[in-house]
Amino acid sequence: METFSLQDHTALVTGSSQGIGLAIAQGIHDAGARLIYHGKEDPAPEMPEGSDWLVEDLLDPAGPERLIKAAFAAQPELDLLVCNAGGFFDVPFLEVEPEVWDRTMNLNVKANYFVAQAFARELAERGRTGSIVLTCSTNGFQSEDDTTAYDTSKGALVMMTRTLAQALAPQSIRVNAIAPGLIRTTLNASMRTDEIEAHYNKKILLGRLGESEDCAGAVVFLLSEAAKYITGQILVVDGGLTVGQIARM
């Protein structure tokens, strides 16, 4: 279907040097869009021809606006944004220091909020519509051991999706999100023991952990004309992890 195509669009994917962000960027490229990749440091990942690579630290308060300015300078037709950058810094709750809390909230919540704001401002100045997708998590509505700051930040992104959708609707900018479940990434590699994987393979209805590529199609759909009447929604990509209460025996 042509409505799923992103031909003639340009997308910025934050945090796209590896993992879910890199897979999302590749999926957007496969759907026909031009790409701007982003990471906090060099080197750049392997990118399709015609793509751009931008380095910016989103923990710097001025980072979000600098990134968006650089993105529009690199590809002025930019009209799609995936706010994927984030991190996990948790320790058990009684050991969490203010620095851990601040780092988590500043990267996972504040940076995404102001990247989206700077993007929307640029579109408004150009009289252009667009679409934003945030990377939330199933941790945004189901808690997990020793992830209190991370869970709280992802819960904030769930509401950010809805409130930005309402704020930007008059500008015809749609805002949606994906909520990945347990996806194999470097972020959770140290927590994926054979025992834990075996447990989750029984709990996940589709019988396996997700791969980064499993998130790409959902983002392409939400950015595309196929989702032109969808805004403020969170699409869960978890293989059925959050559907059942009890794992199979």
d(CA 141, CA 126): 36
Question: SS3 helix, strand, coil % of the chain, rounded to 5?
Answer: 45, 15, 40
- Distance from CA of residue 219 to its chain's centroid? 9
CA dist 24 and 236 (Å) reads: 15
Q: Measured in Å, how far apart are the chain's first and last C-alpha atoms?
A: 41
Single out the catalytic residue among 37, 113, 150, 200. Answer: 150
Instruction: Dig out the tokens for 218 from the structure.
Output: 């959902």
To the query of whether residue 229 is one of the catalytic residues in this protein, the response is no
E-assigned strand segments in the chain? 10-13, 34-39, 52-55, 80-83, 130-135, 173-180, 234-237
- Sheet strands side by side (includes 52-55): 52-55, 34-39, 10-13, 80-83, 130-135, 173-180, 234-237
* Helices and strands counted in the chain (H then E): 7, 7
Burial of 249 (C-beta count, 10 Å sphere; 0-12/13-18/19+): exposed
Handedness of CA 75, 223, 169, 66 (dihedral sign): negative
Residues classed as catalytic: 150
